[in-house]
Chains A and B, each alone.
Chain A
Amino acid sequence: MALEAIKLSQDEMLAKAKDLRKNIINMTTAAASGHPSSSLSAVEIVTGLYFGGHLRLDPENPGDPNRDRFILSKGHAVPVLYAAMAERGFFSVEETMSLRKLGSPFEGHPNLKRMPGIEASTGSLGQGLSIGVGQALGLRLDGKDSNVFVMIGDGEMGEGQVWEAIAAAAKYKLGNLIAIIDQNGYQQTGATKDVLDLTPFADKIAPFGWHTQTINGNDLGEALQALEVAASVTDRPSVIVSQTQKGFGILPILEETGDLNYHGKPLSSELAEKALAHIG
């Protein structure tokens, strides 16, 4: 197989998004741990990246030097990445059921040493965008047209290093770097606006010299359009502030539990069954 970007129809992508959601729930419930709600908020953007014509990849040759790269800086949401990679052919969906188990390469946070196709080992928040800046610099130095996408959490924006990276990316006018802030509104102990409110993100990042867009990131159409626009910006880095809901896709089930944040815990088998039925 060669390097290629897969571009499905929007209907097909909506179906993929459902598959991703189901897999996220299945693997975290099987693991009896993990971060399903943090993964679910990012499904539309990740679907757009892997199936909307953006990531040129070859699962048979994950290290192809001309590939596009996706760094999941909010590494705790790795189930969404494993789910997308499984659908993209890096491994089977069945294999992802070994999530977080001893001996499995499907670790609780991305580990590039154990899984080809993972572009950065993350889990200590704040470093992914800087790693993306380095990759974008390296790819440009080699004259490659590859893009680097980095997904950051809104709580993660509290890390000072992210702002160092924003400044550096602007200095080097990295048109091949696209950041996505998955603004799902919650972090570990509560609402991000209550813990450390750094919104509005776009108004703060634009003056550094970035192209910015703010969208409803759980609307697949908006996500796809924003990715198109961001990819067309080549004279400076671009950020998509993707306003989402943590746990999107199974919100009524989370409501039932009384915990709309539902941070860092799996659904019980019973709740998972309800959630899967709800997704349909």
Chain B
Amino acid sequence: MAIGELSGYQMGQATRDAFGDALAALGDEFPALVTVDGDVGNSTRTEPFALKYPERGFNVGIAESNMVSVAGGLAGTGKIPVVASFACFLLNNAFDQIRMSVAFPNQNVKLVGTHAGISIGEDGPSQMGIEDVSLACSMPGVVVMVPADAVTAKKATRAMVEHQGPTYLRLGRPNVPALYDDSVDFQIGKSITLKEGSDATIIANGLMVSIAADAAKLLSDEGIDVRVVDMHTVKPIDREAVVSAAKETGCIVVAEEHLHHGGLGSAVAQVVSEEHPVPMGYVNVGDCYAESGDPMGLLGKYGLTAEKIVSTVKAVKAR
């Protein structure tokens, strides 16, 4: 069964595809928009923009350090550079450049990391960005967004371009269910409640929102009414939604396609511990690197499944 099928969602575009379409469509409205690529523009989907505006697309080759600092320099002349690569090569390879050329000087650079998580599949762990949210969140002033579907990926693309300051947009490789229609209200730092519920809350982002929706359906069949919150912005996190979930549902499970440390789970736990401590559980990649394989097989083997969320919710509720 495909992801999202159980909860009635149709398969839609990959978030990277939606980003690519949205970016190309913003070029006229934002003449300062430029792209800086490390020769993977046809994978990250900056290519449509660069083809439409050739003088505004800079492919600096396989040189991520230079790529990020060049973007910092472009921002210093008033441009809005979108610098895109695989999440792991952008955040991990060029971390110091993001720190010194973007975050510390607070340059208006838009970082976009695609092929995030383990769902990239066959290319294997060297290509899987699973530390990226932690790295991005560690830097002061950087907005970190992880949209769950095509519509919110498009809206996140506009939001990051309109935002003044550094941002990181995390995108996935595979197609994902279409969760929303165009009327959905997307704002940086304001989560979306996909499903109301009172027995527990699943807070998720990216691909895991659809899987959380499936888990909610399974739980509902057993009479457990869970809330599903799409926490598309990890930083700044929607504290109000986290506190409401803790107060109104009594326990929280956080699901993300990321390592256990430093991602959405850590961000939610900080708010919960500061504001309203309740039992929490985590569904994520854990503390390990994955392996090559088909995406669905990988998600199953590493526990990123509706079933795992269901068992975690039950365990947390019982505490």
Contacts and interface: CB of A to CB of B under 8 A. Distances in A.
Nearest to A142: B77
Contact of B61 (A122, A123, A132, A167): A167
Interface stretch (B94-102, B124-132, B201-209): B94-102
Nearest to B36: A134
B66 A168 contact: yes
A124 interface: yes
B69 A137 contact: no
Contacts of A141: 34, 55-56, 77, 79
Given A124-B99, A131-B72, A132-B73, A161 B79 contact: no
B153 to A, nearest CB: 26
B189 interface: no
Contacts of B76: 69, 119-120, 131, 134-135, 138
Nearest to B77: A138
A65 interface: yes
A92 to B, nearest CB: 25
Given A120-B76, A131-B70, 5 more contacts: A138-B73, A138-B76, A138-B78, A142-B77, A161-B66
Contacts of B81: 134
B141 to A, nearest CB: 10
Contacts of B34: 138, 141
B101 to A, nearest CB: 5
Interface string B31-74: 00010100000000000000000011010110101101111111
A184 interface: no
B234 to A, nearest CB: 24
Interface in B94-150: 96-97, 99-101, 104-106
B309 to A, nearest CB: 41
A208 to B, nearest CB: 13
Contacts, number: 110
Contacts of A23: none
30 contacts: A69-B76, A112-B105, A120-B76, A120-B105, A121-B105, A122-B100, A126-B65, A131-B69, A131-B70, A131-B73, A131-B101, A133-B66, A133-B69, A133-B73, A134-B73, A134-B74, A134-B76, A135-B77, A137-B58, A138-B34, A138-B74, A138-B78, A161-B63, A161-B65, A161-B66, A164-B65, A165-B69, A167-B61, A168-B66, A172-B58
B61 A168 contact: yes
Contacts of A130: 65-66, 68-70, 72-73, 97, 101
Contact of B70 (A112, A119, A124, A134): A134
A160 B70 contact: no
A69 B77 CA distance: 10
Contact of B79 (A120, A138, A167): A138
B50 to A, nearest CB: 14
Measured as residues with beta carbon below 8 angstroms from the partner, the interface class of chain B is: 20 to 34
Interface in B71-94: 71-79, 81
Contact of A65 (B56, B68, B78, B106): B78
The 3 A-B pairs with the shortest beta carbon distances in the complex, nearest first, are A134-B73, A138-B77, A130-B69
A117 B76 CA distance: 12
B101 A123 contact: no
Contact of A168 (B63, B77, B96, B101): B63
Nearest to A127: B69
Interface string A168-190: 10011000000000000000000
Contacts of B97: 127, 130, 161
Interface string A142-169: 1000000000000000001100110110
A142 B34 CA distance: 12
B275 to A, nearest CB: 31
A101 interface: no
Contacts of A172: 58
A137 B63 CA distance: 17
Given A130-B70, A141-B34, A160 B75 contact: no
A73 to B, nearest CB: 10
Give the one of A124, A126, A134, A171 with max B CB within 10 A. A134
B37 to A, nearest CB: 12
A167 B63 contact: yes
Nearest to B69: A130
A137 B74 contact: yes
